Amino acid sequence: MNFKRSALFLFSILINSAVFSAESNLKVEPSKQDSLTMPDLKSSFQSTLSSCLPILAPYCEDFEDSSWVGYYPNFAPGFYGSIGNCWSRSDSTGFIWSFKTGGSTWNQSGPGNSVVLTTGKYMFTQPDGNSPINSTTITTPWFDLTALDTPAVYFKSHLYGAAIQSLSVEIDFGNGWTSASGPNTLISLAPTQQKNSPWQQNIVNLLQYQNDTVRFRITGTRNAQLAKIAVDDFCIDEAPFCPPVVASFYDYGNFLSRGFVASNVPNNAQCTWDFGDGSSGSGTPAFHTYSTPGSYNVKLTIQLPCGFIDDTTQTINVCSSLGNPVFTFQENGFTYDFQVSSGGNGSSGFLWDFGDGNFGSGATVSHTYSSSGVFNVTLKSYNNCKDTNSFSSVIDICDPTDSILANWTAKLVSTGPAGMVIDFDAEVSLGATYYKWYFGDGDSGVGKVVTHTYNPPGLFYNVTLAVSNDCNGSDAITKSLTTIGTNEEELPSNKIWPTLLSRGQKLYFTTMNPSRSRNNVKIIDSLGRIMKGYKMSDGIEIPIHWPSGSYFVKIDNKTFKFFLTK
């Protein structure tokens, strides 16, 4: 209420506080202490109205003086007790605000002690086990807030008991207890305490009512009989300093199950959530599972212990499911046509990672690779709810013009009565993917590295290695075991550097020069594929999309080995 509205309000109260008699004599009488005990009217010409003027804040009511008297005993007729001047309460005598000192004698509900140990008086809801009344209110006097720069309402509360539903505080700033947006509820508390828990301090910022004249209505509700809701130290004063906090949040999760996280809030902030489907939650992060897909207006309210409150509402979309996508492809040389073959249900779009640093979108895409190699292609589906699923598959692109060369080395492991054990290694082969061994004794094997036992032992066996690749290339070589013990062609290790490097780095040679022809250089991966797409200057620049692993580089008929890290 602004200054002009406060003045009109005060004038109205002054006029209404007069009592007119039949003799037309003007006199002012104080109001009774309890709205339950209205006086009898002496004549039809007499009207008794409140003489209470707005109280200039700051103000504090601790319910300690003698005007606050509790019921005694057990709602005995005529023993309703009394309340302070200019306060009023509902006449629900079976469930009504009363007053006492010390802890509740009930184990089922009520505080274990007063705010001020055993001697302090406080206000509580006095329940009658036979009453059907489930809600009771008490209303404060009017307060003039013009003297406060940052007004706030303070009160202590204790809510323990399974029958308690809530304690709420509403504000009337001259337009009643409701406005166009609904009830003017400042705060609503649920029973979260135990019997011997400390009293909870509550602070609500009233900055939007600065310069207004206001009053408050305190309401306790229950769903069964035994519900003692306690309130003490109800005060109107300057708000404590509160750092500015802006309510914001983000959500995450899959399908109907969502998580909500308040952003940049202090640790002592109280976060409450309205999930938009009639459900609520608290804390951060908060989790909720919706029963049906749809759009929901989610509201976050942040309250600091100093009384500051801010809220924000966002609309989120919730979907029920999203298929697991799978793709197929057709190839024509280095050009691949990809298409989503299944699992697209529930999706609103598709994203592609072709594994060579290029990307695409859509249910069908075409991509041309610049070189042969092994590429990990990933398809990701998404929907309007930010859910995603993905599928990956490795494609092996070969160049039919790449050469393939079979070769092997052997190592004698042991020999004895059980036979002669030989380790065979085809790693020195070039451009090969598949390896087939014929050991010369009627046995065979597959794999790049194999072990075979000869019995009888001897070096008179002729061993054949047949290699092939996905480009229909093939080669074979036959050598005698008599080569064991002779000097095999070794991989020189001191002619290249570094032998361990990352994607994008350069590989250098002691004999390298810028004028060397590309035809003199071949790089082969661990699967025997001829690699392409690298640049040559003072060194060989390794492309960033090459997979990690071991590689061989052949230059001037010499083979070197290096490793590419992630």
Alpha carbon 134 to its chain centroid, in Å, reads: 38
Where among 318, 343, 376 does a domain terminate?
318
Where among 289, 318, 347 does a domain terminate?
318
Q: For residue 10, is pLDDT > 70?
A: no
* Residue 49 placed within a domain: no
Give the rounded percent of residues in the chain with a pLDDT score beyond 90: 44
- The pLDDT tens digits for 254-265 are 889 999 999 988
Q: For residue 517, is pLDDT > 60?
A: no
Compute the average pLDDT of residues 298-310.
86
Do 342 and 432 share a structural domain?
no
CATH number for the domain harbouring residue 444: 2.60.40.10
Do 335 and 309 share a structural domain?
no
* Residue 472 placed within a domain: yes
* Residue 391 placed within a domain: yes
Q: Which of 125-134, 401-410, 514-523 is predicted with the least confidence, judged by mean pLDDT?
A: 514-523
Q: Which of 269-278, 339-348, 521-530 is predicted with the least confidence, judged by mean pLDDT?
A: 521-530
Do 337 and 214 share a structural domain?
no
Under the banding of pLDDT at 50, 70 and 90, the label for residue 273 is very high
Within 8 A by CB and 6+ apart from 11, the residues are none
Do 220 and 156 share a structural domain?
yes
In whole numbers, what is the pLDDT of the chain averaged over residues? 82
Do 290 and 259 share a structural domain?
yes
**Nearest-angstrom CA–CA distance, 217 and 201:** 18
Do 331 and 313 share a structural domain?
no
Is 39 or 484 the better-scoring residue by pLDDT? 484
Nearest to 210 by CA among 153, 149, 143: 149
Do 188 and 154 share a structural domain?
yes
pLDDT of residue 36: 39
Residue 352: give the domain boundaries: 326-397
- Beta-ladder partners of 336: 331, 367
pLDDT of residue 519: 63
Under the banding of pLDDT at 50, 70 and 90, the label for residue 6 is very low
Do 273 and 413 share a structural domain?
no
Give the rounded percent of residues in the chain with a pLDDT score beyond 70: 84
Nearest to 474 by CA among 397, 374, 406: 406
- The pLDDT tens digits for 191-204 are 999 999 999 999 99
- The pLDDT tens digits for 12-23 are 333 333 322 222
pLDDT of residue 9: 39
- The pLDDT tens digits for 168-195 are 999 999 989 987 777 899 999 999 999 9
How many domains are there within the chain?
5
- The pLDDT tens digits for 225-241 are 889 999 999 999 998 88
Do 255 and 144 share a structural domain?
no
Where among 318, 353, 378 does a domain terminate?
318
* Residue 265 placed within a domain: yes
**Nearest-angstrom CA–CA distance, 273 and 260:** 9
Do 231 and 82 share a structural domain?
yes
Is 320 or 402 the better-scoring residue by pLDDT? 320
Within 8 A by CB and 6+ apart from 263, the residues are 248, 249, 250
